Chains A and B, each alone.
Chain A
Amino acid sequence: MKILASYSIKGGVGKTATSVNLAHLAATHGYRTLLFDLDPQGASSFYFRVRPSEKCKTKFFFSKEKKLQKNIKASDFPYLDILPAKLSFRNFDIMLNYMKKSTTRLHKTLLTLKKEYDLILIDCPPSISLLSENVFNAADKILIPLIPTTLSERTLQQLTTFFSTHGYRNKKLIPFFSMVQSQKKLHKDAMTRLRKQYPHLLETSIPFSADIEKMGVHREPVTAFAKDTTGAQAFMALWEEVESKLACTKKKRALSI
């Protein structure tokens, strides 16, 4: 099982669109996938029309492993399950603060699902907190959507510095350009500059696209309702790049003969 996070300190950069579409593509490619909506806004859950269970008690998340299973819900797509967000997820930081080994709790909890899933995708809230550190510890790779602007450039720098100073491996970070408007000179210049500065930036860029925005109307991944559009095609290319970096394996459903 591999764990992939979609994370950024900054909000509104395309984390949820990335999580939702990559989770859908992974499932379509036969990986048993769980999308963990860790963002209290619950946008990922909304896109899949999944509501959290009313009985779901957030306080059990990091202490009682079986409770986690009960909150998982099937999406409308084969091989894709959702762990929907609740507004009470906003209290995770406070809860973790009172726990021992407070930066590795999430990893330990997710490992209990390794027989069930080939891939867990975490849609993270925008912040840098104790919960974020849990994500840094749990994830095999961390996708960083990056709008080619000065502010995004600054947050990426902040993140890499945080990683270096706190002993996390920078290799985990996979930045890629998101919400790119290629007609803007500012974006073009920033992209050229950043590619020089961060050679491991993914080749694929996700364009700023009306189709991706329409996900809110359709309440489905763009890769499901408009797979021939530029936006969907870009996510497909992104998935291919991410898949090769993750080296994720599918469970052998086909038993050997």
Chain B
Amino acid sequence: MERQLLRYHLPKRFSANKLQQLLNTKYQIYQQALPSQTLIFYDTFEWLLWKKGFVCWYFQNQLSLQRRDHFCSPYDLYTLDTLELPSPPEILNIAPSTFAQKVQKIIKARALTPTAEVQFASTLLDCKDSEGKTRLRLQLDTLQSQSQPRHKVKSLIVQPLKGYTTDAHFCQQLLTQNQCEQTSKTLLGEMEAHGLIQPSHYSIKPTFNLTPDLSVHEVISKITSHLLALARLNETGIVNDIDIEFLHDYRVALRKIRSLTTLLKHAFTTEKFNELKTSFGELGKQTNILRDLDVYLNHQADFTQLLPDSLQSGLHILFADFQQARTLEQNKIKKHLKSRNYLKKIKQLETQFQSSASLCHGPLANEPILKVAKERIYRQYHVIRKKSKRITPETPDEYVHDIRIACKKLRYLLEFFADLFPENEITKLVNALKKLQDHLGLFNDLCVQQAFLQDYYHNQLKKAHHPTEEIYQLCLSVGGVIAVLYQKQLQARNKVTNHLSSFIDKDVRQQISHLFSTAEGEKHENTCELQH
């Protein structure tokens, strides 16, 4: 008994009354006009719900979630979930509920904000026979953009009823005779085609469409301009504090640029390279504290699980303190991003990278990218391989962190230059590397968190002239957390060692040689072997 719906495009002057006139010859028509109301769609900045096949909307004081393919009307009673809300908020912070759980599974740390707003009006027409039995249902929907009234969708849904197929055929014939065209598009598809809803293609992992014949300076210009634009797209979200992912993406974009300039540093003169490295380094550094606090606050529930109930009060104090610090830091970053200095600096960088020929005067600048990419990837893999071979249980943690940085560089190289190599092979390598990076990342987080909490602990003790019950509770909890983190760190390190050895084994090595081996790369590799 699933609902089968047929959708029709209507000619410009086709109205509900015209439709009624046509159907009146055979049926008694019961028309119900539902008044025009505001329909607001919500999604994350990168349209995560949309991309995963869902849609969320606010209509008549109710927030609803539905599969995109199943969305036929905001009046739909059979949605995945609904939530009563008195008014549509600018940033949707949903209180804990089954609705929130379903949405958060998809959007994670992202927030929902309005993505489209239209006026929705609908007319329902029930076609009844002489006994008053409904034989066919029709729904005429009009959607109009509030900001651009020219953007308008008019669509008619014919809902055939089970056991009354002849009536549906009659209606279909009637509509075809009157220049109405059946369409396979969904209502959302129609809205997209008419510009009423415009899903974003934003992704922090973009493709750069590189070709092997491009020179290094052209590639630098292409990738950097793209990444700078991506970073800048996140500024408003950080300033308005919509969600923590804006800052994350902003930092990732800048870090990737910095990494690219370092990996291809010979494309620049030494002075230029140093200048760029400092500029991007400083831009990133500004937001370090805010990002750390974001991560802690986002994982508050995980920290809570580490300690028994008796030590929870200290954690509450800790996180209240973090929250306060975050508010201060957020204001600071907001000011920084709006400051003249920052805007001048970032615009200067944008202009510089637009004309890379004048920016890149190093020996590598005019080399073909394919050769350089192969060489860099090959060399970077072997850097990791050599460092990994030297790891023993006694190797200091700092050395593992160096390997983490080297892996990150390799990952960026593979992602930057993915277009130049067979997609399957690159995906395989990236997946293998990703697994390793997950463990390295966890290990690093555990070390950094311990150091951060120890600093915090000492500062609190210094601040407190007379120890209070609060300080006592706080220190107890922080101490407890550090102890658990240390245990976890020991376990993580074992896993890192195991994953490193599988990443440098024969299979991956052969794959690297097959894809990226060049005469120069191998020469460099052999020289390094001799040196060690």
Whether A73 lies near B164 (C-beta < 8 A) is yes
Whether B163 lies near A73 (C-beta < 8 A) is yes
- In the complex, which residues 5-44 of chain A have their Cβ closer than 8 Å to any Cβ of chain B? 30, 32
Given contacts A49-B131, A73-B163, 17 further A-B contacts (CB under 8 A): A30-B78, A48-B133, A49-B133, A50-B163, A51-B133, A73-B162, A74-B164, A78-B77, A81-B1, A81-B162, A81-B163, A116-B1, A117-B1, A219-B131, A253-B78, A254-B81, A257-B105
A79 at the interface (CB under 8 A from B): yes
Interchain residue pairs A-B with the least CB separation, the first 9: A73-B163, A49-B133, A74-B161, A74-B162, A254-B80, A76-B134, A49-B131, A257-B102, A32-B1
Residues on A lying within 8 angstroms of B by beta carbon are 30, 32, 48-51, 53, 71-74, 76, 78-79, 81, 116-117, 219, 253-255, 257
A-B contact list, 26 entries, CB within 8 Å: A32-B1, A49-B131, A49-B133, A50-B133, A50-B163, A51-B133, A53-B163, A71-B163, A72-B162, A72-B163, A73-B161, A74-B1, A74-B163, A76-B126, A76-B133, A76-B134, A81-B162, A81-B163, A253-B78, A254-B80, A254-B81, A255-B67, A257-B80, A257-B102, A257-B105, A257-B106
B132 at the interface (CB under 8 A from A): yes
In whole Å, how far is A83's beta carbon from the nearest beta carbon of chain B?
Answer: 9
Residues in chain A near residue B126, CB distance under 8 A: 76
In whole Å, how far is B27's beta carbon from the nearest beta carbon of chain A?
Answer: 14
Question: A73-B162, A257-B105, A257-B106 given as contacts; is B1 within 8 A of A79 (CB)?
Answer: yes
Residues of B in contact (CB 8 Å), total 20
Residues in chain B near residue A78, CB distance under 8 A: 77
B77-107 contact mask (Cβ, 8 Å, vs A): 1 or 0: 1111100000000000000000000100110
Cα(A254)–Cα(B80), bound, Å? 5
- In the complex, which residues 111-129 of chain B have their Cβ closer than 8 Å to any Cβ of chain A? 126
B132 and chain A: residue at smallest CB distance:
A49
Residues in chain B near residue A71, CB distance under 8 A: 163
Residues in chain A near residue B161, CB distance under 8 A: 73-74
Cα(A73)–Cα(B134), bound, Å? 11
Residues in chain B near residue A116, CB distance under 8 A: 1
Cα(A219)–Cα(B130), bound, Å? 13
A27 and chain B: residue at smallest CB distance:
B1
In whole Å, how far is A134's beta carbon from the nearest beta carbon of chain B?
Answer: 24
Residues in chain A near residue B79, CB distance under 8 A: 254
Cα(A78)–Cα(B3), bound, Å? 10
Chain B interface mostly = loop
Residues in chain A near residue B164, CB distance under 8 A: 73-74
B422-456 contact mask (Cβ, 8 Å, vs A): 1 or 0: 00000000000000000000000000000000000
Cα(A253)–Cα(B163), bound, Å? 23
In whole Å, how far is A79's beta carbon from the nearest beta carbon of chain B?
Answer: 7
A83 and chain B: residue at smallest CB distance:
B163
In whole Å, how far is A29's beta carbon from the nearest beta carbon of chain B?
Answer: 12
In whole Å, how far is B136's beta carbon from the nearest beta carbon of chain A?
Answer: 10
Cα(A219)–Cα(B102), bound, Å? 41
Cα(A71)–Cα(B165), bound, Å? 12
Cα(A100)–Cα(B102), bound, Å? 51
Residues in chain B near residue A73, CB distance under 8 A: 161-164
In whole Å, how far is A221's beta carbon from the nearest beta carbon of chain B?
Answer: 14
Most chain A beta carbons < 10 A, residue from B81, B106, B131, B162: B162
Whether B1 lies near A219 (C-beta < 8 A) is no
In whole Å, how far is B444's beta carbon from the nearest beta carbon of chain A?
Answer: 32
In whole Å, how far is B89's beta carbon from the nearest beta carbon of chain A?
Answer: 22
B79 and chain A: residue at smallest CB distance:
A254
In whole Å, how far is A255's beta carbon from the nearest beta carbon of chain B?
Answer: 7
Residues in chain A near residue B78, CB distance under 8 A: 30, 253
A78 and chain B: residue at smallest CB distance:
B77
In whole Å, how far is B378's beta carbon from the nearest beta carbon of chain A?
Answer: 42
Cα(A237)–Cα(B459), bound, Å? 65
Cα(A30)–Cα(B67), bound, Å? 18
Residues in chain B near residue A253, CB distance under 8 A: 78
Residues in chain A near residue B105, CB distance under 8 A: 257
Cα(A30)–Cα(B133), bound, Å? 22
- In the complex, which residues 1-30 of chain B have their Cβ closer than 8 Å to any Cβ of chain A? 1
B67 and chain A: residue at smallest CB distance:
A255
Cα(A79)–Cα(B164), bound, Å? 16
Residues in chain B near residue A32, CB distance under 8 A: 1
Residues in chain A near residue B134, CB distance under 8 A: 76
In whole Å, how far is A138's beta carbon from the nearest beta carbon of chain B?
Answer: 20
Cα(A53)–Cα(B162), bound, Å? 12
Cα(A71)–Cα(B163), bound, Å? 7
Residues in chain A near residue B54, CB distance under 8 A: 257
In whole Å, how far is B208's beta carbon from the nearest beta carbon of chain A?
Answer: 32
Cα(A233)–Cα(B80), bound, Å? 29
B133 and chain A: residue at smallest CB distance:
A49
Cα(A78)–Cα(B73), bound, Å? 15
B131 and chain A: residue at smallest CB distance:
A49
In whole Å, how far is A236's beta carbon from the nearest beta carbon of chain B?
Answer: 19
Cα(A51)–Cα(B81), bound, Å? 36
Cα(A32)–Cα(B1), bound, Å? 7
B47-77 contact mask (Cβ, 8 Å, vs A): 1 or 0: 0000000100000000000010000000001
In whole Å, how far is B5's beta carbon from the nearest beta carbon of chain A?
Answer: 13
Residues in chain A near residue B132, CB distance under 8 A: 49, 219
Residues in chain B near residue A76, CB distance under 8 A: 126, 133-134
Cα(A198)–Cα(B514), bound, Å? 83
Most chain B beta carbons < 10 A, residue from A32, A76, A78: A76
Cα(A48)–Cα(B1), bound, Å? 17
- In the complex, which residues 162-206 of chain B have their Cβ closer than 8 Å to any Cβ of chain A? 162-164
In whole Å, how far is B279's beta carbon from the nearest beta carbon of chain A?
Answer: 43
In whole Å, how far is B157's beta carbon from the nearest beta carbon of chain A?
Answer: 14
Cα(A198)–Cα(B67), bound, Å? 49
A77 and chain B: residue at smallest CB distance:
B134
Cα(A254)–Cα(B132), bound, Å? 33
A52 and chain B: residue at smallest CB distance:
B163
Residues in chain B near residue A48, CB distance under 8 A: 133
Residues in chain A near residue B81, CB distance under 8 A: 254
Cα(A87)–Cα(B105), bound, Å? 55
A220 and chain B: residue at smallest CB distance:
B132
Cα(A51)–Cα(B130), bound, Å? 12
In whole Å, how far is B21's beta carbon from the nearest beta carbon of chain A?
Answer: 23
Cα(A30)–Cα(B79), bound, Å? 12
Residues in chain B near residue A254, CB distance under 8 A: 79-81
In whole Å, how far is A206's beta carbon from the nearest beta carbon of chain B?
Answer: 26
Residues in chain A near residue B162, CB distance under 8 A: 72-74, 81
In whole Å, how far is A24's beta carbon from the nearest beta carbon of chain B?
Answer: 15
In whole Å, how far is A216's beta carbon from the nearest beta carbon of chain B?
Answer: 13
